[in-house]
Structure 1
Amino acid sequence: MYLEEVPRVTRIDKATFLEEYFRRQRPVVIEKAIEDWPAYTRWNLDYIKAVAGDKEVPLYDDRPVDHRDGFNEPHAKMRMAEYIDLLKKEPTRYRIFLWNILKEVPQLQEDFEYPDFGLRLMKSLPMLFFGGRDSYTFMHYDIDLANIFHFHFEGEKQCILFSQEENRFLYKVPHSLITHESIDFSAPDFEKWPALRNVRGYKTSLKHGEVLYMPEGYWHYMRYISPGFSMSLRAMARNPRRLSKALYNIFIMRHYDNLMRRIRGQRWIDWKNEQAVTRTHKRLDSER
């Protein structure tokens, strides 16, 4: 597995971003894009606790997918104030993801703007993500294969990225958006997962105020080096092939997967995990 560093720029104008990164579908970290936002100086865990402490939030951890779980169904719930206290007290696997701040805490929108990178951002979908030290997401891609701008606040976050062109050796689980959950992408076991030797991707670490652009459909693994949170803004996929795949995922794939979980139960989950390995190793053998 070869990981090169995500390119970094201090600032970037719209024309350069579109030409160098969007059209080439390459990731980039912009280090000083939001220093004029109120969020740059305000947003930390204490501030979120003050403005949203009474809100009940959905929590997710890194347990394996179970057939009894619905699509993106949370594993627990907690008041935001209690959750932030937990983050600051000790390591926890609990994360918040896809928390819509327009719906939950509208006043937070006063703290940021929708930057003009030349893409039409979906202004109804600013999402927050929180995690404690050493918590992580499975390697996955977003259901809509959107262009994502990921703004990080407080602490440090490790990111590993792959394009959709790397699918054949990533142990992708069929009828899902994840790779095999047993893989630790921060330190992969190449004896157990030999196909990963053939993939190429990117890595970076994000600190407060930095912005990561993830191109359409990019796989991403996120690990919180220290407690913190991020906000994602997104723009629809432009590539017709990726846009059609997004529509398939939203309107067919996820409903089919939920139906099969109800019909076959855990056997469906186990079969998918087995197929992720079988299909990937078959491709690996065919190219040797």
Structure 2
Amino acid sequence: MKLNLVEIPRVKSISKEDFYNNYVKKQRPVVIEQLTKDWPAYEKWKLEYIKEVAGDKTVPLYDDRPVSHKDGFNEAHAKMKMSDYIDLMLKEPTNYRIFLYNLMKEVPVLQNDFKWPNIGLRLVKQLPMLFFGGENSKVFMHFDIDYSNILHFHFHGKKQCILFAPEQSKYLYKVPHSLISREDIDFDNPDFDKFPALQYAEGFVCNLNHGEMLYMPEGYWHYMKYVTPGFSMSLRAFPRKLGNLAKASYNVFIMRHFDVLMRKWKGQDWIDYKNEKAIENTHKVLNVN
């Protein structure tokens, strides 16, 4: 039995009016295949090029270990020279990933390789963050703390993306006081006996190829798997909905700090409590249905 997923619509190109009216306004995802065709990055952004211009940088790495009370917020699990990391990615599968890394600040030449798209969103004009992953590495199911509209561009290879709209949260075993679902859920091969609510969730899926862009609306859950080694870049626009702005403010200024405080106070008991509540809260919904 598989998740209930439909393919995300695809267009080769789109006007900013159609993009805004058909996708942003309706808060529906879409893949735009040729948005980057006129970017220098379309030809240049391969892993070998990143190794050439940024190989001497020491980068933070993350793997798929479960959240621990000992970890700080977004604290890296290891560090490595970018050149060594890319060599590892090209040699064999690895679950090491680079997450939300401001490589463009350290390697300014990369800033010349992309263009801010005029696509109907007021993008935040800060340097874009980059994400890297080895073959079969996975990014756990989560939503972004700031509820932004996200333009997610992929380069070098293929990446699978599974999305769920915010209204599907009730089926996704959301961990309280956090941005994630239970980390022991395998969204490639879900255990519906252990997590029965997942069979009611309705989501989206796509495989992003080199140069393609995925639009993820405000507060959308997303799970990513690097089918091949590759890397991605995200541009973001603040949420348009007042309710989502309020949720983003709560997450940034209250929830995150409360969770850090409770980890320090309660330790692993706090993590275990939250994971138990994720199941309890989700299964209450099933009883109602």
TM-score class normalised by the smaller sequence? over 0.9
What CA distance in whole angstroms lies between the structure 1 residues aligned with 2:168 and 2:231? 28
Instruction: Read off the aligned partner of 1:176 and give its amino acid letter.
Output: S
CA distance in 1, matches of 2:258, 2:165: 25
Change (3 A) 1:79 1:226: same
CA distance, structure 2, for counterparts of residue 282 and residue 180 of structure 1 = 16
- What residue number does 2:10 align with? 8
Q: TM-score, normalised by structure 1?
A: 0.98
Counterpart contact for 1:125–1:234, Cα < 8 Å: no
Partner of 1:260: 262
Equivalent pair of 2:152/2:214 in contact (CA under 8 Å): yes
d(CA) in 2 for partners of 1:214, 1:61: 23
Output one character per residue of 1:183-225: Cα deviation in whole Å (capped at 9) or x when no partner.
Answer: 0111111111100111111000000010000000110000001
CA–CA distance in structure 2, aligned partners of residues 100 and 167 of structure 1: 30
The aligned counterpart of 1:22 is 24
Deviation at 1:283, TM superposition (A): 1.3
2:59 is matched with 57
State how 1:237-276 maps to structure 2 within 5 Å: 237-276=239-278
Q: Distance in 2 between matches of 1:264 and 1:189?
A: 30
**1:88-114 per-position Cα deviation (integer Å, ceiling 9, x unaligned):** 111111000101133221110100111
Q: Which runs of 5+ in 1 are unaligned?
A: none
**1:211 equivalent in structure 2:** 213
CA contact (8 A) 1:56 1:78 kept: yes
CA distance in 2, matches of 1:101, 1:238: 28
Q: Give a deviation string over 1:123-143, Cα, whole Å, max 9, x none.
A: 214010000010001100111
Letter matched to residue 179 of structure 2: L
Alpha-carbon separation, structure 2, partners of 1:3 and 1:110: 37
The percent of aligned pairs where both chains have the same amino acid is 63
In angstroms, what is the RMSD of aligned CA positions? Answer: 0.7
SS of residue paired to 1:137 = strand
Q: How far apart, in 2, do the equivalents of 1:134 and 1:25 lie? A: 29
Answer whether contact 1:153 1:228 (CA < 8 A) is retained. yes
Q: Partner residue of 1:35?
A: 37
Aligned to 1:223: 225
Q: Distance in 2 between matches of 1:241 and 1:167?
A: 16
Q: Which residue of 2 aligns with 1:178?
A: 180
Number of aligned residue pairs: give it: 287
Q: Helix, strand or coil for the counterpart of 2:105?
A: helix
In structure 1, distance between residues paired with 2:252 and 2:219? 13
Corresponding position of 1:286: 288
C-alpha separation in 2, matches of 1:184 and 1:219: 15
Q: How does 1:145-224 map to 2 (within 5 A)?
A: 145-224=147-226
- Deviation, 1:38, is 0.3
Paired amino acid for 1:201: G
Q: Which runs of 5+ in 2 are unaligned?
A: none
Amino acid at match of 1:188: P
Given candidates 64, 76, 87, the residue that maps to 1:74 is: 76
Deviation at 1:117, TM superposition (A): 1.0
2:30–2:215 contact (8 Å) kept in structure 1: yes
Q: 1-side partners of 2:226 and 2:253: how far apart?
A: 32
Structure 1 residue aligned with 2:146: 144
Offset at residue 2 of structure 1 (A): 1.4
What's the secondary structure of 1:205's corresponding residue? strand
Q: State the partner residue of 2:101.
A: 99
**Preserved contact between residue 161 and residue 220 of structure 1 (Cα < 8 Å):** yes
* Deviation per residue, 1:74-99 (Å, 9 max, x gap): 00011100100010111111000101
Contact 1:161 1:221 in 2 (8 A): yes
Match of 2:86 in 1: 84
TM superposition outliers: structure 1 runs of 4+ over 3 Å? none
Render the CA deviation track for 1:114-167: whole Å, top value 9, x for unaligned: 101111111214010000010001100111010000110011101000011111
Contact 1:101 1:109 in 2 (8 A): no
AA aligned to 1:46 is E
